[in-house]
Amino acid sequence: MSLTAEFLTSLEGIDREQWNGVAGVDYPFMRHEFLLGLEQTDCTTADSGWQPCHLVLRDGAEPVAVMPLYLKSHSYGEYVFDWSWAEAWQRSGLQYYPKLLTAIPFTPATGPRLCCVPELDLEEAWKFALQAVQQLAREKTISSWHVLFPEQAVSENLLQAGLHQRSASQFHWFNRGYADFDDFLATLTSRKRKSLRRERRRIAEQGLSLRTLIGDAILEADWDRFHHFYQLTYAKRSGHGGYLTREFFTRTAASLGDQVIMVLADVGNEPVAGALYFRSRQTLYGRYWGCRQEFDCLHFEACYYQGIEFCIANGLRHFDPGAQGEHKIQRGFEPVKTFSNHWIADPRLSAAVGDFTRQESRHVEDYISAASTLLPFRTS
């Protein structure tokens, strides 16, 4: 193949069928509909600090590899925190922003970051992409390029190619062939099993009922309510209404069909809270949560237990409920390692980042080992 690189300032520059033909549609966050929808609903624009700069590798006129890429003027919405790096740049008299970012906006979910057609070797595609992005960075005097939440094998290859590897941890649930929720509970210690059952009983005791809606069964009124819950919860936690607009939910998320699952909690006939999930063939991704008022244990039920039940009922192997949350451990979510990779243009600062990531990695290993000892599973 004779490859050329093209950078798109909008995903409107490539047809949906062409992008999805390369990226596939199983991993929902790489779908053309999802990424373009973020642009068209004002979530990822130059004004929001997420200027699209997507990479398309072509063989002649045909796209053979695609990669999401953004020119960032800040570090919000990434879930891999590099504020201290930006401060170090400033102290050195250098500018950290803008930077280049390969990631799914506002989505700390591991998955493919560069997709290519079967005829193109993925490692070869990455080598060409590395050259193209680094050339772009040098031409525009951009400080760095960051690849967030790639799959481990890709991250290891990027490390070998000279990009520093950073590790972190999340808590995920794994379906080991459970017949139902009680079958899963049977693997826990007696004390933890009773605790989870008590939490689930609290839902009915408070007059709450939950319902699960999939794809087209989610009506526009449900999306409106969910966005309201999302804004309220973000405002309580962060002092702003969240990164995602109403139109993202009503237009973009709604366009993904059966890959979208909404759990609504009702008191009587009135919804009071909701959780939003996305799915691939094997994985459930817990993404957003919001509530109008607080109820005891409702967050655990809507965001964790309903997700576990959905995985069991639908044969999904893996549940990724999102970032952070040590409280997940006692509910059967196991610590896993996540990765990011970082190319730094300035050799002095690159060396400092390399030292930092190597030291941090040792702490992450220790943390995961310690967290694993707290899992609630029976040992015999």
> For the segment 201-217, what is each residue's pLDDT rounded down to a tens digit?
999 999 999 999 999 99
* Confidence band for 372, pLDDT divided at 50, 70 and 90: very high
* Confidence band for 277, pLDDT divided at 50, 70 and 90: very high
**What's at 221, amino acid-wise?**
A
CA distance 242 to 39: 16
Decide: 36 and 127 in contact? Cβ < 8 Å.
no
Domain range list for the chain: 3-170+336-372, 176-316
Whether the bond between 108 and the residue before it is cis, its omega within 30 degrees of 0, is no
By C-alpha distance, which of 258, 242, 218 is closest to 28?
Answer: 258
**What's at 184, amino acid-wise?**
F
Domain range 176-316, CATH class: alpha beta
Q: Are strands 62-67 and 115-116 parallel, antiparallel or unpaired?
A: antiparallel
3-170+336-372 CATH fold: Aminopeptidase (3.40.630)
Residue 342 confidence (pLDDT) above 90:
yes
CA distance 33 to 170: 27
**What whole-number percentage of the chain has pLDDT above 70?**
100
The whole-chain average pLDDT of the chain stands at 96
By C-alpha distance, which of 378, 344, 327, 354 is closest to 86?
Answer: 344
Q: What is the pLDDT of residue 145?
A: 98
Same CATH topology for 3-170+336-372 and 176-316: the answer is yes
CA distance 307 to 8: 36
CA distance 76 to 95: 17
Q: What is the pLDDT of residue 309?
A: 98
Q: What is the pLDDT of residue 291?
A: 96
Q: What is the pLDDT of residue 130?
A: 98
